[in-house]
């Protein structure tokens, strides 16, 4: 699935987009719901373009009609018209802008919602292979980029095209000789414009890249871990040097951009002088020889801007369009990523379960060819506590990922109450499973909101009961606003042990049949440890639990200990049996679980039960 995807490499270059009919139709598809608005906007653009032709014609009428005939009345009417036309087109412009914004914002709204929902449905593998920044960038920058393109480039292009077309029709109907001269001059102007457009595009890309480089250095070194690393290896000067280097490159590009803009403006100025000069020269000759009226020449000069303005803009439209297609392409790339884990059409609702989980000959590979689990088989009976132990990298976490189907097995099968996991709906499977990880993740919200995340319908009394069971009541009562205290980033700071108990309370509220518990490796003081044991007791009862065990109490209480080593179950049994075996478990026990000095602390309730 991931083959041919771009995101795995730190890609900065925009992809070369092939403009296909399918791509264009797909983009147009997003506009289909707003066809009415789109038509209205296009119609307004056409009317504005047509109104723009009126003032030059009025000038011609002043010079050719009102002045020679000394017609003051006509002069007044024409003058009013000169003011009226811009007012009218200005008003229409407001309306058109309103329509544009509505369309582009709605398309962006749809696209963003669609993208968020889709990315949400993707599998864990996607998130482990993409940088978070990359996802954010596509959701934010690319979608906003598209809105800009839709709101400005697209309408501008259509407006310019209308303007060019109407002006061409008018100039040719006024006088074909001057019209031909005007059009013939266009290439002189066009060639440098295109060239400048290309260089400017490259410079813009370069600027973006330099900015990204700078941001990367800042992100890497100006955060807690990066800062500590930099300080501890005394690399401040090295990093400052790297930063200065990139900063200097950015400065150079900016200077070049600015100079280019200036050169281009100079060129335009020359041309702005050259165009009218030639029209006056040739047009004046035609007036002198009697082939043309003075008013027409003046009208022509005025119309010249309406001719070259759009030509200049349209000359570079291809670059803009390619840029925006690239944005769409990047978004479609995500939308086209098939969720790896999804319901089969025949998937059934799991309903309530007893929580019997059976692994049959399960093998698993994250990367094809590299086995992380190899023919793993075991059964967990309802309500059993299964402890997973083994050296780091043995595959314990992987086992716990396979139960909620964060990944599908490569070979073999996993069953819950006799149903292969792949034959039931993912959501009904998740309803049966609760997960408590090492690092408790809390949203930046109140205690109550964080807990209610587990069960949106939970009553306040249910929340309080869960807190009581999780030994959290007292902690909450000490908080400034009780259950309404903001925890997380900018709120009340919870200690590691308290956070774990919030996680426990959260799962208690969900009340799943199967529990996955990844015990924190960090050692806690004995009092906190004891509180967590107490909190865990109601959590473990009545559920099939898979615990990645780091505490003695857990292995002692386990109905079954599975000892994993390099993807194999090398031993299985109770603590007493495995110690008697004198194998890997006995070794691990010595280094990992055995209390440093017996009698260090009183036995916890669970340990007492186990003995």
Site residues for ligand ADP per CB under 6 A: 128, 366-367, 372, 390, 392-398
d(CA 593, CA 584): 13
- Quote the least distance from Cβ 522 to ligand ADP, whole Å: 15
What is the maximum span of the chain, computed from C-alpha positions, in angstroms?
Answer: 121
- Nearest Cα neighbor of 326 from 564, 23, 589, 14 is 14
Compare residues 127 and 263 and give the one whose CB is closer to ligand ADP.
127
Compare residues 372 and 435 and give the one whose CB is closer to ligand ADP.
372
Yes or no: say if 396 and 548 are a contact pair by the CB < 8 Å rule.
Answer: yes
- Nearest Cα neighbor of 600 from 501, 498, 496, 529 is 529
- Quote the least distance from Cβ 401 to ligand ADP, whole Å: 7
Compare residues 129 and 611 and give the one whose CB is closer to ligand ADP.
129
Compare residues 246 and 396 and give the one whose CB is closer to ligand ADP.
396
Compare residues 128 and 232 and give the one whose CB is closer to ligand ADP.
128
- Quote the least distance from Cβ 126 to ligand ADP, whole Å: 11
- Quote the least distance from Cβ 564 to ligand ADP, whole Å: 6
d(CA 482, CA 134): 38
Compare residues 483 and 593 and give the one whose CB is closer to ligand ADP.
593
Kindly report each contact of residues 420-425 with a partner whose C-beta sits within 8 Å and lies 24 or more positions away, as own/partner: 422/344, 423/344, 423/346, 423/347, 423/348, 424/347, 424/348, 424/349, 424/350, 425/343, 425/347, 425/348, 425/349, 425/350
- Quote the least distance from Cβ 329 to ligand ADP, whole Å: 27
How many CA atoms lie within 13 Å of 77's alpha carbon, on the beta-carbon side?
Answer: 8
- Quote the least distance from Cβ 380 to ligand ADP, whole Å: 18
- Quote the least distance from Cβ 19 to ligand ADP, whole Å: 36
Q: Is 73 helix (H, G, I), strand (E, B) or coil?
A: helix
Compare residues 78 and 394 and give the one whose CB is closer to ligand ADP.
394
d(CA 536, CA 554): 10
- Quote the least distance from Cβ 440 to ligand ADP, whole Å: 18
- Quote the least distance from Cβ 163 to ligand ADP, whole Å: 55
Compare residues 8 and 215 and give the one whose CB is closer to ligand ADP.
8
- Quote the least distance from Cβ 316 to ligand ADP, whole Å: 44
Strands (E) across 181-328 are located at none
Compare residues 53 and 394 and give the one whose CB is closer to ligand ADP.
394
- Quote the least distance from Cβ 337 to ligand ADP, whole Å: 16
For residue 258, the surrounding DSSP H or E stretch is helix 236-288
In sequence order, which ranges of 289-373 are alpha helices (DSSP H)? 294-315, 317-335
d(CA 546, CA 515): 6
Please count the other Cβ atoms lying within 10 Å of the Cβ belonging to residue 218: 14
Would you give the end-to-end CA distance of the chain in angstroms?
A: 50
Compare residues 3 and 290 and give the one whose CB is closer to ligand ADP.
3
Compare residues 97 and 397 and give the one whose CB is closer to ligand ADP.
397
Secondary structure of 375-428 in HEC code, one letter for each residue: EEEEEECCCCEEEEECCCCCCHHHHHHHCCCCCCCCEEEEEECCEEHHHECHHH
- Quote the least distance from Cβ 444 to ligand ADP, whole Å: 27
- Nearest Cα neighbor of 270 from 189, 158, 182 is 189
d(CA 111, CA 116): 9
Q: Which strand ranges, in their side-by-side order, compose the sheet holding 433-436?
A: 433-436, 514-518, 544-548, 385-389, 560-565, 568-573
Compare residues 128 and 289 and give the one whose CB is closer to ligand ADP.
128
Contacts of residue 222, Cβ cutoff 8 Å, sequence gap at least 6: none
Compare residues 291 and 393 and give the one whose CB is closer to ligand ADP.
393
Distance of alpha carbon 598 from its chain centroid, rounded?
Answer: 52
| Ramachandran angles phi, psi of 546, nearest 5° | -110, 115
- Quote the least distance from Cβ 562 to ligand ADP, whole Å: 11
């Amino acid at each position: 699935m991931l083959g041919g995807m771009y995101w795995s490499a730190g890609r900065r270059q925009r992809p070369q987009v092939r403009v296909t009919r399918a791509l264009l139709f797909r983009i147009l598809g997003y506009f289909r719901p707003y066809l009415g608005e789109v038509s209205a906007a296009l119609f307004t653009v056409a009317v504005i373009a047509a109104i723009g032709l009126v003032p030059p014609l009025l000038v011609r009428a002043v010079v050719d009609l009102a002045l020679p005939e000394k017609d003051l009345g006509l002069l007044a009417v024409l003058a009013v018209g000169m003011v009226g036309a811009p007012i009218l087109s200005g008003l229409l412009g407001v309306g058109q802008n309103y329509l544009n914004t509505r369309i582009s914002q709605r398309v962006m709204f749809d696209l963003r919602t669609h993208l968020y929902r889709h990315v949400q449905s993707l599998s864990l593998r996607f998130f482990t292979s993409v940088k978070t920044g990359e996802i954010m960038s596509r959701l934010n920058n690319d979608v906003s980029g598209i809105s800009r393109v839709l709101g400005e480039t697209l309408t501008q292009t259509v407006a310019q095209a209308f303007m060019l077309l109407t002006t061409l029709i008018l100039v040719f109907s006024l006088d074909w000789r001057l019209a031909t001269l005007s059009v013939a001059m266009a290439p002189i102007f066009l060639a440098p414009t295109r060239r400048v457009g290309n260089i400017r595009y490259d410079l813009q890309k370069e600027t973006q890249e330099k900015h990204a480089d700078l941001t990367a250095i800042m992100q890497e070194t100006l955060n807690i871990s990066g800062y500590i690393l930099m300080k501890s290896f005394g690399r401040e000067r090295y990093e400052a040097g790297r930063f200065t280097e990139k900063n200097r490159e950015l400065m150079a590009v900016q200077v070049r951009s600015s100079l280019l803009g200036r050169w281009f403006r100079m060129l335009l100025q020359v041309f702005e002088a050259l165009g009218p000069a030639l029209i006056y020269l040739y047009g004046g000759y035609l007036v002198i020889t009697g082939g043309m009226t003075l008013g027409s020449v003046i009208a022509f000069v005025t119309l010249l801007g309406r001719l070259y303005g759009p030509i200049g803009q349209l000359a570079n439209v291809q670059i803009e369009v390619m840029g925006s297609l690239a944005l769409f392409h990047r978004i479609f790339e995500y939308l086209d990523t098939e969720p790896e884990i999804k319901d089969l059409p025949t998937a059934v609702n799991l309903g309530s379960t007893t929580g019997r989980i059976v692994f049959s000959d399960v093998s698993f590979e994250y990367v094809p060819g590299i086995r992380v689990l190899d023919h793993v088989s075991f059964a967990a009976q309802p309500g059993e506590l299964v402890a997973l132990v083994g050296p780091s990298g043995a595959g314990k976490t992987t086992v716990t990922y396979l139960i909620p189907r964060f990944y599908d097995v490569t070979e073999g099968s996993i069953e819950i109450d006799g149903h292969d996991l792949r034959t039931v709906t993912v959501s009904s499977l998740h309803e049966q499973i609760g997960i408590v990880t090492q690092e408790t993740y809390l949203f930046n919200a109140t205690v109550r909101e964080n807990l209610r995340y587990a069960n949106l319908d939970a009553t306040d009394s249910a929340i309080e009961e869960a807190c009581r069971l999780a030994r959290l009541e007292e902690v909450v009562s000490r908080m400034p606003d009780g259950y309404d205290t903001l925890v997380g980033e900018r709120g009340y700071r919870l200690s590691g042990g308290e956070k774990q108990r919030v996680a426990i309370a959260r799962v208690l509220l969900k009340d799943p049949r199967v529990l996955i518990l990844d015990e924190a490796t960090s050692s806690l003081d004995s009092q906190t440890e004891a509180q967590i044991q107490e909190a865990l007791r109601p959590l473990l009862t009545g559920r099939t639990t898979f615990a990645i065990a780091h505490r003695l109490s857990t292995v002692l209480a386990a109905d079954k200990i599975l000892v994993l080593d390099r993807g194999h179950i090398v031993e299985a049994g109770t603590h007493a049996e495995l110690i008697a075996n004198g194998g890997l478990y006995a070794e691990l026990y010595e280094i990992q679980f055995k209390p440093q000095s017996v009698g260090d602390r009183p036995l916890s309730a669970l340990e007492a039960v186990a003995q």
